Amino acid sequence: MDTSQQANAEQIARWNDTAGRAWVETQETLDSVLAPFEALLVEAVAARKAQRVLDVGCGTGSTTLAIARQLGPKGMAVGVDVSAPMIALAKQRAARASAPPRFICADAQTHAFEPASFDMIVSRFGVMFFDDSVRAFANLRRAAAKGAHLHAIVWRSAADNPFMTTAEGAAAPFLPQIPPRKPDEPGQFAFADKNRVHSILEKSGWSEIDIQPLDVTCTLPKRELKDYITRLGPLGRVLPQLDEQQRSKIIAAVRAAFDPYVHGKEVRFTAACWMVGASAA
C-alpha cells in the first residue's frame, strides 16, 4: 500500500461503513439540523463573488448543491468526500439539480486536484478528520488559485458542545468499551484548539488567517431525536453489536439524558464552533 492509500485509512474505513451509511439514512434530518451553517457558507461564497468552489468533506452534498444554485450555470461547484455511500447519494441529488455540481469520492489530503483551480474552498465540519492536517491543508493550498479564500466551519471543544457528548456520557456506565475521545486526534473535536488550527494553516502555506467563535442554535423535531442519538457518533458504532435487551436499556438511559434539550415538539441546542478563514495570498 502506498502512502496515499495509507493516509486516513481508519477514517476512510469508518466513513465507508457504519458512519457513512448512518449519514445517508438520516440525510434529511442532518441537512435540516445543519442548515444554518450551509446558509453561512453560501453567503460567504456570494460575498467573495467566487466562481470555482471546492467543498471539502461534502458528505451527501447539501452544501455543495446550495453553492451550485448560488453560482448558477456559469460557476463550478465541486464536492469531495472519502465516503462512497455519501458521494453516491450526493450524485443522485445532483442529477436532479438545474445547475449540478460535480462530486469526487477521494481523500482531500492526497487527491491530485488541478493546481490553482479553485477561487474558494469551503467546508461544513469536514476538515477535522485528516491524520496529517498540515499535509491536507497544503494539498488544498495547491488547489487554490492566487488570492483564493478558505472558509471552514469546525467544532470547538467537547466541553463547549455538551449536546454532542450527552449520548456517550449517558451510555458510559453500560459501555465501558467506548474509548474516550483524545484531544487533537482526528475526529469531531480535532480543531477545538484555536492556536493549533492557526499553526496548521500557517505551516501549510495559508495566510491572513482569521479564526472567530461562532455559536448557532440548531433544532430538530423531537420525533427524530431517538434516531439521531442512536445512529450517529460512537454510540451508532456500538449499539448494533449488542443484543436487544442491552440496546433497549441503553437507549432508555440515553434518551432520558436529552430531556433538558427538549422544548415541546422541538429539540434545541447551541453548536459552539470556529469560523476559520484564510487566504492563498
- Residue pLDDT, tens place only, 196-227: 999 999 999 999 999 999 999 999 999 999 98
Rounded-to-integer distance, Cα 166 and Cα 164, Å: 6
Residue 114 falls inside a structural domain: yes
The pLDDT value given to residue 1:
37
* Radius of gyration in angstroms for the set of CA atoms belonging to the chain, rounded to a whole number: 19
pLDDT at 2 over 70: no
Q: Which candidate, 99, 103, 75, 77, places its Cα nearest to that of 89?
A: 103
Q: Containing domain of residue 69, as a range?
A: 3-157+181-218+271-279
Percent of the chain whose predicted confidence (pLDDT) is above 70: 97
245 pLDDT above the threshold of 50: yes
Would you say residue 66 lies in a domain? yes
pTM, 2 dp: 0.93
- Helix (H) or strand (E) segment spanning residue 102: strand 102-105
- State yes or no: pLDDT of 185 exceeds 90: no
143: left (phi over 0), alpha (psi -120 to 50) or beta: alpha
Bridge partners (DSSP) of residue 130 are none
The verdict on residue 17 lying in a domain is yes
Say if residues 264 and 135 touch (Cβ distance below 8 Å).
Answer: no
Q: What is the CATH number of the domain that holds 148?
A: 3.40.50.150
pLDDT in tens, 100-126: 999 999 999 999 999 999 999 999 999
Does residue 39 fall inside a structural domain?
yes
Does 30 map to a domain?
yes
Asked if residue 133 belongs to a domain, the reply is yes
Short-list 232, 224, 226, 229, CA closest to 265: 224
Number of domains in the chain: 1
pLDDT range class, residue 7, cuts 50, 70, 90: low
Domain annotation covers residue 197: yes
